[in-house]
Amino acid sequence: MAMLLLITFSCKPKSEKSDMSVLSKNIEYDVTINNFVESPCTSLEETNSNWYHNNIEASVRGAFLDLLFKNALSGKLNITDMNNKVIDTNKLKELLTITDTITSMQDRPPFKTYDTIIKTMLSPSMITTLRFRENWTYEPKTMAITKKVIAIAPLASSIRIDKEGKEIIGKKNALFWIVLPEKNSTSKVLTKRIVSTVSYTKDPIYNSLNFDSTAIGTYMQKLLQLVYADSLTAYQLSSGELPDVAMSGKEWEKQLCATETIKQQRTTPPYDTYDTIVKKVFTVSAIRFLEEWKFDPETMAIDKKIVGVCPVEECFDMNKEFKGYRPLFWVYFSDVWTPFDGKLELKKKNK
């Protein structure tokens, strides 16, 4: 059952246990690995600088998915259906078979219609998303998160052509689980950079299961406290780029915990004015990850190195209607290497 959570923060520090390290167990969430089907482009180099958001480079993505299908169908992997029931290669072939029915008409009297059933194997190129089942922990001093991938599931997207000849992406369908062995040799780089967002609210785009609400609340509160205290460096967000300019903890606290004084007038005599101090609060509802992925060509296990995290809040208008997500800042846990440009040179905090 999904655990729904909204974490609302004030600026008042809270006490916490320093030895807390478990963030979530058996969490399940989806990561899109092909965003080109949603963003028209002609080549990787011609896309914008955010090509690594929910995307693995096409050149390696195709080879990885071909290998995943090959290993799965060979019987080398521990495969279950989406209900965690072990299946053999025959059952797997059934899950990967697409059945289409074409209705035709006889060209001779009495011109009756008849159906032709066509069965084809699902193409690896139709896999646009990976579902992960993981255990999350974090190191309390640095707040660096570690993800242990337990199982992965490929999700296929159906594609149809509309009347104008445009491709329409259909609903994603989870196919099967690959349950990973305890020990793997994840030595092959799958992608140096992938950015994805995991939400712990009931959200139609980013959804997740089994979040530990107490642990994630503690983690986010401590992350903010360490940023305010300059124990962690937080980098300002710019339009579409990985930020490289740091801001001091005092500036972050001033920006995120701003207060506003509103003058109001009493409705009864002597109708004097008074001040009301309003403190800003924000709701962290998701985490954005910057990661590097390696994999084991034999077991298809994926190892994730968490390079950085970004807290994300939900935004609402005056009528309390949801308007979208606002990322707050990036905290990096290791050197950031940007595709095509080399190492990201991180600039010092503003004094």
Whether the pLDDT of residue 10 is over 60: the answer is: no
CB–CB of 248/349 below 8 Å?
Answer: yes
Bigger pLDDT: 316 vs 309: 309
Of 54-68, 230-244, 261-275, the one with minimum mean pLDDT is: 261-275
The pLDDT, as a whole number, for residue 21 is: 80
| pTM given for the model | 0.80
pLDDT classification of 151: cutoffs 50, 70, 90: very high
Residue-wise pLDDT tens digits, 119-140: 778 899 899 999 999 999 999 9
User: What are the phi and psi torsion angles at 246 (to 5°)?
Assistant: -85, 155
Predicted local confidence at residue 121, as pLDDT? 81
| Cα dihedral value 311, 314, 317, 322, nearest 10 | 160
How far, in Å, CA of 177 to CA of 96, rounded? 13
SS3 state of residue 83: coil
Lowest mean pLDDT among 61-70, 71-80, 275-284: 275-284
Residue 95 has pLDDT above 70, yes or no: yes
Kindly indicate the confidence band of residue 267, based on its pLDDT and cuts at 50, 70 and 90: confident
pLDDT exceeds cutoff 80 at 230: yes
15 pLDDT more than 50: no
Tell me the mean pLDDT in the region 57-69.
94
Q: Specify the pLDDT at position 163.
A: 62
Q: Which residues contact 268 (CB under 8 A, 6 or more apart)?
A: none
CA distances from 226 to 108, 148, 212, 221, 286 (A): 80, 25, 21, 9, 19
pLDDT of residue 211: 78
Above 60 in pLDDT, residue 96?
yes
pLDDT of res. 198: 87
Cα–Cα distance, 268 to 25 (Å, whole number): 57
Confidence of residue 3 (pLDDT cuts 50, 70, 90): very low
The fraction of the chain above a pLDDT of 90, given in percent, is 40
Average per-residue pLDDT for the chain: 81
pLDDT band at 98 (very low <50, low <70, confident <90, very high): confident
pLDDT at 47 over 50: no
Cα 228 to Cα 84: distance, rounded to the nearest angstrom: 44
Nearest to residue 287, comparing CAs of 267, 270, 306, 268? 306
Residue 260: its pLDDT value, please?
61
- Please state the separation of Cα 305 from the chain's center in Å: 14
